[in-house]
Amino acid sequence: MTPSPIWHPFTQHALEPSMRSIRSADGAWLKASDGQRIFDGVSSWWVITHGHRHPKIVAAIEKHAAMLDQIIFAGFTHEPAEEVAAGLMKIVPPGLTHVFFSDSGSTSVEVALKMALGYWKNIGARRTRILALEHGYHGDTIGTMSAGARGVFNAAYEPLLFEVGRIPYPKPHHAQPTFDALEIQCRKGDVAAFICEPLILGAGGMLIYDADTLKEMHRICKAHDVLFIADEVMTCFGRTGMIFACEQAGISPDIMCVAKGLTGGSLPLAVTLATSAIYEAHLSQDRAKTFFHSSSYTANPIACAAAAANLDIWRTEPVIERILALSQQQSLCLNDLETDTRFANLRQLGTIAAFELAGVQPGYLADVALKLRARLLERGVLLRPLGSTIYIMPPYCTTKDELKSVYRAIGDTVDEVLR
């Protein structure tokens, strides 16, 4: 068989020379070309919310693909984009008044950083520094890598990255050092914005902190007129138990990034939402104050149609009830692991559960991750451990029996790998 010329993401092909071919998907399940059914325990990299191929989303894609495939979004608009923007205005935290479309989580954050810097420049203030939460991950473009944690993900690209101020991760029951560091940095008067993943740091190891901590970080930023950027790329549309994680702290960020679940996971689309103040700082007869950002597929009509259908699902179906049920099922499964000495630091936020393998090499490059992934796949379960951290983030349609089977597979597989 001729080797594929495809270079896959986050893949060391010397260790993983061949890829599984997936033929179809339905609900929480994938079907491989060889006929194996595989449970999608990571929602296909955290994007699938309701389940694969939700009928309303599929119908919307089919309908709009036959009407309007693509149109330049400078100087033009279209109904699906207007519908998405109007729908978002009804559910996002108050104060967010303008919607800028892009293509992915990384680009939505890149847009946010540019909006923040453009705001201060356009109002004539010399604020150019970005602060970011330690261990954060915000994407793989230059700006987002700069804001994210430095390490194996971006070591090779260090010459391209700009410096940001690092704020210590708020440890459970010991967040004061975080508040003190943020306060000290903000007092310097040159900080444009602070960016964080609200409540949970995803690729950083599914690190969870509480809503009171998020609220206090937001308060400190507001006290010093520092723009607060909430990276809700992963947390949006229900992962933490509410539509947006910021809701749990009762905060309204100045800028919010939304992607992954925006289309229910069906097509790539993202938005960056901003306040009127940020929009108006770019509104001028002076064309030099224009917000200079775009991509060829900004607000693609078919992707926007999928997002509009997703918003309709949230309005007309009991999505929150499904999220609550899944969250309760995750809690029960974690409770069963409480006395299991193979696992440590069991934790949960909404539909997301995570824990570490006890006594195993820590870090993203831990060898156990590849072994676990391969053995679980043999058992029909797709998980992607972050080194020694195992996490389960399934679609909201997951049943109790399906989730239990995932945890059983983890228990059996860990024994095999550790032996």
Q: Is the pLDDT of residue 367 over 90?
A: no
Question: Are 383 and 390 within 8 A, CB to CB?
Answer: yes
pLDDT band for position 130 (50/70/90)? very high
pLDDT band for position 148 (50/70/90)? very high
- For the chain, helix, strand, coil in percent to 5 are 40, 20, 45
Place of tokens 């693509």: 70
Q: What pLDDT is attached to residue 2?
A: 83
pLDDT band for position 245 (50/70/90)? very high
Q: Is the pLDDT of residue 249 over 80?
A: yes
Q: How far apart are CA 173 and CA 31, in angstroms?
A: 44
Q: How far apart are CA 359 and CA 341, in angstroms?
A: 10
User: Mind listing the pLDDT tens digit for each residue in 269-318?
Assistant: 999 999 999 999 999 999 999 999 999 999 999 999 999 999 999 999 99
Give the number of other Cβ atoms within 10 Å of residue 86's Cβ.
12
Question: Are 213 and 170 within 8 A, CB to CB?
Answer: yes
Q: Which residues pair with 27 in a beta bridge?
A: 52
Q: How far apart are CA 320 and CA 341, in angstroms?
A: 33
Overall CATH class of domain 319-418: alpha beta
Helices 79-89 and 301-316: crossing angle in degrees, nearest 10, is 40
Write out the DSSP string of 374-389: HHHHHTTEE---BTTE
Q: How far apart are CA 96 and CA 105, in angstroms?
A: 18
User: Mind listing the pLDDT tens digit for each residue in 321-365?
Assistant: 999 999 999 999 999 999 999 999 999 999 999 999 998 888 888
User: Mind listing the pLDDT tens digit for each residue in 266-278?
Assistant: 999 999 999 999 9
- The domain ranges of the chain are 57-316, 319-418
Q: What contacts 189, CB < 8 A, 6 or more positions away?
A: 127, 224
Name the nearest CA neighbour of 398 among 15, 7, 51: 51
Amino acid residing at 299: A
Question: Are 87 and 308 within 8 A, CB to CB?
Answer: yes
Q: How far apart are CA 116 and CA 278, in angstroms?
A: 8
Give the number of other Cβ atoms within 10 Å of residue 74's Cβ.
7
Q: Strand, helix or coil at 224?
A: coil
Question: Are 73 and 101 within 8 A, CB to CB?
Answer: yes
Name the nearest CA neighbour of 319 among 91, 50, 58, 84: 50
Q: What pLDDT is attached to residue 366?
A: 85
Structure tokens at 105: 């989580």
User: Mind listing the pLDDT tens digit for each residue in 378-411?
Assistant: 999 999 999 999 999 999 999 999 999 999 999 9
Instruction: Give the mean pLDDT of the chain.
Output: 97
Q: How far apart are CA 298 and CA 304, in angstroms?
A: 10
Range scoring the smallest mean pLDDT among 22-26, 180-184, 224-228, 415-419: 415-419
Q: How far apart are CA 364 and CA 342, in angstroms?
A: 19
Asked whether the domain spanning 319-418 has the same topology as the one spanning 57-316, the reply is no
Nearest 5°: the CA angle 371, 104, 77 is 155
The CATH code that applies to domain 57-316 is 3.40.640.10
User: Mind listing the pLDDT tens digit for each residue in 183-208?
Assistant: 999 999 999 999 999 999 999 999 99
Q: Is the pLDDT of residue 228 over 80?
A: yes
CA distances from 248 to 170, 175, 199, 245, 332 (A): 17, 18, 9, 6, 22
Q: How far apart are CA 99 and CA 78, in angstroms?
A: 14
Between β-strands 255-258 and 389-392, what pairing exists: parallel, antiparallel or unpaired? unpaired
Name the nearest CA neighbour of 393 among 100, 44, 17: 44
pTM score = 0.97
- Give 290's DSSP letter: S
